[in-house]
């Protein structure tokens, strides 16, 4: 079974099954295992005179282990069936859309419920958010996580098989845990953060194109090129700007982290700012539209290879 065909089946399986709660209550999810490995690395080696080297060597060692696990699974994949299952587990399309939709559903009940729901998927302060701020947060999370949780894993599987997708997930997990500019992790997590930036460079821009193409919004490219660099991340601004331009809404803007208000620039500043559950619904629809375009592309690759 070709890699592209395996990815097609994995994308379909993930879209149907998602993250079955009954399963992950009984066995640990691979992402949880990766998280525990990074936590152990942090607690054990984030010390001494050269934490940057320790962090880099530790992440590289875990990348080698992840790649070796990928090669081992490929050797006993039972005609590709096991690979389909593993890749589906490492994709997050259905679970992402469910989490984002939950924010819209909660916000329809009350702003307080909306705040609680969005706090499950974002790292910013949510206690003082109004309805539009809750909506922007959910839509921004939808855009960025589609890139990190769906497009990038699929891309790295096509490029390098199971070793590629496992290494990507390991690096992305490391970045989410130690890739912060804090006193503890500035040096130790720098390599993980820069490697994650490198591995997401192409997928982030692919995500922007998928959003634009899925709605035939060719005029959005000007906004994407203009506003993507406004983001503090070299990659996250691309899917976010594409989502904003395609939906006609303004995203980003001022928000609070750890009690400190930060004056981030608006993305697609001319877009609608007074948004709510309807726009979150539209972002979920766009996630599925982008997913369908990607699925079609992978099917085409499977046919011609």
Q: Which of 202, 223, 203, 201 is nearest to 212 (CA)?
A: 223
248 Cβ neighbours under 8 A, 6+ residues apart: 268, 271, 272
Query: Residue 126 has what pLDDT?
Result: 83
How many domains does the structure of the chain reveal? 1
Asked if residue 84 lies in contact with residue 9, where contact means CB atoms within 8 angstroms, the answer is: yes
Q: pLDDT truncated to tens, each residue of the chain (305 aa)?
A: 899 999 999 999 999 999 888 888 888 999 999 999 999 999 999 998 899 999 999 999 999 999 999 999 998 877 799 999 999 999 999 999 999 999 999 999 999 999 999 999 988 888 889 999 999 999 999 999 999 999 999 999 999 999 999 999 999 999 999 998 888 999 999 999 999 999 999 999 999 999 999 999 999 999 999 999 998 899 999 999 999 999 999 999 887 776 677 788 999 999 999 999 999 999 999 999 999 999 999 999 999 98
Strands (E), 121-277: 251-252, 255-257, 260-262, 266-267
What is the model's pLDDT at position 259? 67
Strand pairing class (255-257; 260-262): antiparallel
pLDDT at residue 215, as a whole number: 92
Domain holding 83, by residue range, is 3-304
In this predicted structure, what is the pLDDT of residue 257? 77
> Where does residue 221 rank: exposed (0-12), middle (13-18), buried (19+ CB within 10 A)?
middle
Number of alpha carbons in the 13 Å side-chain half-sphere of residue 134: 29
Strand partners for 118? none
What tokens were used for 136? Answer: 């922007």
Neighbours of 155 (CB within 10 A): 22
Please tell me the total number of residues recorded for the chain in this structure.
305
Can you give 57-68 as a three-state secondary structure string? HHHHHHHHHHHH
């Amino acid at each position: 079974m070709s890699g592209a065909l395996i990815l097609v089946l994995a994308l379909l399986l993930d879209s149907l099954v998602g993250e079955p709660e009954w399963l992950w209550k009984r066995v640990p999810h691979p992402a949880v295992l990766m998280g525990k490995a990074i936590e152990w690395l942090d607690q054990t080696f984030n010390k001494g005179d050269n934490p940057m080297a320790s962090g880099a060597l530790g992440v590289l060692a875990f990348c080698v282990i992840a790649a070796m696990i990928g090669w081992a699974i490929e050797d006993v994949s039972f005609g590709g069936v096991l690979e389909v299952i593993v890749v589906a587990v490492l994709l997050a399309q259905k679970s992402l859309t469910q989490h984002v939709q939950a924010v819209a559903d909660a916000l329809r009940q009350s702003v307080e419920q909306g705040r609680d729901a969005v706090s499950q998927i974002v790292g910013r302060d949510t206690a003082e958010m109004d309805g539009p701020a809750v909506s922007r947060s959910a839509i921004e999370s939808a855009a960025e996580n589609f890139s990190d949780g769906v497009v990038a894993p699929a891309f790295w599987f096509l490029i390098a098989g199971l070793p590629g997708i496992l290494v990507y997930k390991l690096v992305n997990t490391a970045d989410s845990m130690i890739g912060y500019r804090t006193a503890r992790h500035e040096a130790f997590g720098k390599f993980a953060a820069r490697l994650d930036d490198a591995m997401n460079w192409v997928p982030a821009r692919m995500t922007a194109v998928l959003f634009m193409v899925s709605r035939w919004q060719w005029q959005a490219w000007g906004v994407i090129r203009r506003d993507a660099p406004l983001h503090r991340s070299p990659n996250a601004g691309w899917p976010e700007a594409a989502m904003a331009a395609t939906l006609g809404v303004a995203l980003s803007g001022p928000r609070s982290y750890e009690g400190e208000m930060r004056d981030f620039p608006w993305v697609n500043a001319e877009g609608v700012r007074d948004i709510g559950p309807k726009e979150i619904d539209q972002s979920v629809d766009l996630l599925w539209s982008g997913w369908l375009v990607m699925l079609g592309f992978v099917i085409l690759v499977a046919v011609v290879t």
